[in-house]
């Protein structure tokens, strides 16, 4: 990759970042995080308290997370959060349920924004909504507690073997950076409902973790401004400082997500689609390619095509893919099997003419033309252009090109 392509990639990431209103999304999530921080902390540490085996690591987990996630004034913010959490614990079971709902709402906001940026549909259903996010909170807490418990055990074992002491030093040095990288990787790879390439997720996680460390360094260097803010805001200075840092965090997260998106969807092999999906010729051509791939697989006795396979093949986001096949599904030319996301031809290939296929892709029908919804020139153009295909079926076309040029 040369400098020109690097510059083009960075420009594309910034363009997507601005197009998806990531600054606005970051500000919304920063405020939501501030509101849900105490409920989420109370819920997480309430769950960890229920598991007695993790109680010994609770303070260690708090200190690690606060030092990892905040660049400055860690103990002050931690003390404030702990006071709020202790006050919240007096609310009883009703308060705990309210806090759980608030925590789940934050996770849902993250899910909605991530899928909007990735162009993926959001899975609906109240039961699915609560079970998924509750599972994330419960099992995430268990995993975090278990990892610290195992780390402490491994540390004690290594300390007993002087020859392995160097391994402990290296592990302690890279642990914060590894934690940040894994956090970005999990968010990018797991949260979007659409397919995410592992390589693209790794690229985004690497960029995000680097920007995270740079931002922490810059934030610490801006201590002079922070001190001035303390003079202006007095005892509540922690709140605007913390809110600004949350905003910066979400900006970095969305930028890393956009970097993964660009890496996956703007490959050289599909550069003909870059920014051209609003072009009718390009859009129809993509729909035609998808249909012929499905029809060819069916004709050769292969399994139905997985939509995720096509999304990756053409480097599309899911919203663009479903927009491309919408004319085909509307005309029953292809069917999608849920929940497996498999598509196959919906009509006998010998009964579908190329003229009717192309007319379907242009959403053209005789009734609409007669009613005046289609301009006569457009109707004449489509009829004249497709008339030469009236006698040629999709099956004939596929057989003709089976041993020759690819129909795709």
- Name the residue ranges covered by the structural domains of the chain: 3-266, 272-401
Average pLDDT of span 254-280: 72
Average pLDDT of span 110-116: 89
Quote the mean pLDDT of the chain. Answer: 74
For residue 388, pLDDT over 60 is answered with: yes
Compute the distance between CA of residue 24 and CA of residue 117 in angstroms, rounded to an integer.
12
Could you give phi then psi for residue 405, rounded to 5 degrees? -65, 140
Radius of gyration of the chain (CA): 27
Average pLDDT of span 50-75: 57
User: Quick one: pLDDT at residue 269?
Assistant: 44
Residue 149 burial (CB < 10 Å; 0-12/13-18/19+)? middle
Instruction: Select the more confidently predicted residue: 95 or 291.
Output: 291
Please identify which residue in the block is written with the tokens 């202006």: 232
Instruction: Decide: 180 and 209 in contact? Cβ < 8 Å.
Output: yes
Average pLDDT of span 235-261: 85
For residue 341, pLDDT over 60 is answered with: yes
Where does the pLDDT of residue 6 fall: very low under 50, low under 70, confident under 90, or very high at 90 and above? confident
Where does the pLDDT of residue 272 fall: very low under 50, low under 70, confident under 90, or very high at 90 and above? very low
Chain-centre distance for alpha carbon 379: 41
For residue 368, pLDDT over 60 is answered with: no
Beta bridge partners of 305: 343
Q: Which CATH class is domain 272-401?
A: mainly alpha
User: Quick one: pLDDT at residue 211?
Assistant: 93
**51-60, 73-82, 108-117, 350-359, range with the lowest pLDDT:** 51-60
Average pLDDT of span 184-188: 89
Burial 277-297 (b: 16+ CB within 10 A, else e): eeeeeebbbbbbbbbbbbbbb
Instruction: Select the more confidently predicted residue: 152 or 353.
Output: 353
Query: Considering only CA atoms, which of 76, 84, 70 is closest in space to residue 39?
Result: 84
For residue 364, pLDDT over 60 is answered with: no
Compute the distance between CA of residue 242 and CA of residue 210 in angstroms, rounded to an integer.
21
pLDDT, tens digit, for every residue of 398-408?
888 765 444 55
Beta bridge partners of 337: 342
Compute the distance between CA of residue 256 and CA of residue 273 in angstroms, rounded to an integer.
22
Where does the pLDDT of residue 141 fall: very low under 50, low under 70, confident under 90, or very high at 90 and above? low
Three-state DSSP class for residue 342 = strand
Where does the pLDDT of residue 80 fall: very low under 50, low under 70, confident under 90, or very high at 90 and above? low
Could you give phi then psi for residue 330, rounded to 5 degrees? -65, -35
Compute the distance between CA of residue 45 and CA of residue 53 in angstroms, rounded to an integer.
13
Compute the distance between CA of residue 259 and CA of residue 271 in angstroms, rounded to an integer.
17
Chain-centre distance for alpha carbon 237: 34
Query: Considering only CA atoms, which of 395, 391, 367, 369 is closest in space to residue 380?
Result: 369
pLDDT, tens digit, for every residue of 197-227?
899 999 999 999 999 888 877 776 665 566 6
Alpha helix (H) ranges present in 89-197? 92-118, 126-159, 165-190
């Amino acid at each position: 990759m040369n400098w020109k392509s690097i510059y083009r990639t960075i420009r594309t990431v910034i363009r997507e970042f601005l197009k998806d209103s990531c600054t606005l999304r970051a500000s919304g999530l920063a405020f939501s995080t501030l509101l849900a921080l105490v409920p989420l902390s109370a819920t997480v540490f309430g769950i960890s308290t229920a598991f007695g085996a993790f109680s010994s690591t609770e303070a260690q987990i708090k200190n690690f997370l606060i030092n990892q996630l905040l660049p400055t004034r860690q103990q002050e913010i931690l003390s404030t959060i702990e006071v709020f959490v202790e006050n919240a614990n007096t609310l009883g079971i009703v308060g705990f349920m309210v806090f759980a709902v608030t925590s789940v709402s934050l996770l849902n906001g993250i899910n909605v924004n991530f899928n909007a940026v990735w162009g993926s549909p959001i899975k609906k259903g109240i039961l699915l909504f609560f079970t998924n996010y509750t599972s994330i909170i419960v099992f995430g807490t268990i995993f975090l507690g278990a990892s610290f418990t195992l780390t402490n055990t491994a540390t004690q074992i290594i300390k007993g073997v002087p020859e392995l002491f160097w391994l402990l030093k290296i592990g302690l040095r890279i642990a914060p950076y590894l934690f940040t990288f894994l956090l970005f990787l999990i968010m990018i790879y797991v949260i979007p409902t659409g397919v995410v390439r592992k390589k693209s997720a790794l690229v985004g996680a690497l960029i995000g973790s680097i920007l995270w460390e740079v931002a922490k360094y810059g934030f610490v260097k801006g201590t002079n401004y922070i001190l001035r803010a303390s003079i202006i805001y007095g005892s509540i200075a922690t709140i605007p400082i913390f809110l600004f840092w949350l905003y910066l965090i979400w900006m970095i997260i969305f930028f890393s997500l956009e970097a993964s998106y660009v890496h996956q969807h703007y490959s050289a092999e599909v550069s003909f689609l870059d920014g051209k999906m609003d072009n009718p010729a390009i859009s129809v051509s993509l729909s035609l390619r998808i249909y012929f791939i499905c029809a060819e697989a069916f004709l050769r006795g292969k399994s139905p095509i997985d939509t995720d396979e096509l999304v990756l093949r053409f480097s599309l986001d899911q919203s663009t893919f479903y927009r491309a096949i919408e004319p085909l599904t509307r005309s029953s030319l292809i069917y999608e099997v849920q929940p497996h996301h498999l598509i196959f031809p919906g009509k006998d290939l010998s009964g579908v003419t190329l003229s009717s296929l192309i007319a379907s892709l242009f959403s053209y029908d005789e009734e609409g033309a007669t009613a005046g919804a289609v301009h006569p020139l457009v109707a004449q153009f489509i009829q004249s252009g497709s008339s030469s295909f009236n006698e040629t079926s999709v099956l004939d076309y596929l057989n003709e090109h089976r041993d020759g040029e690819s129909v795709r």
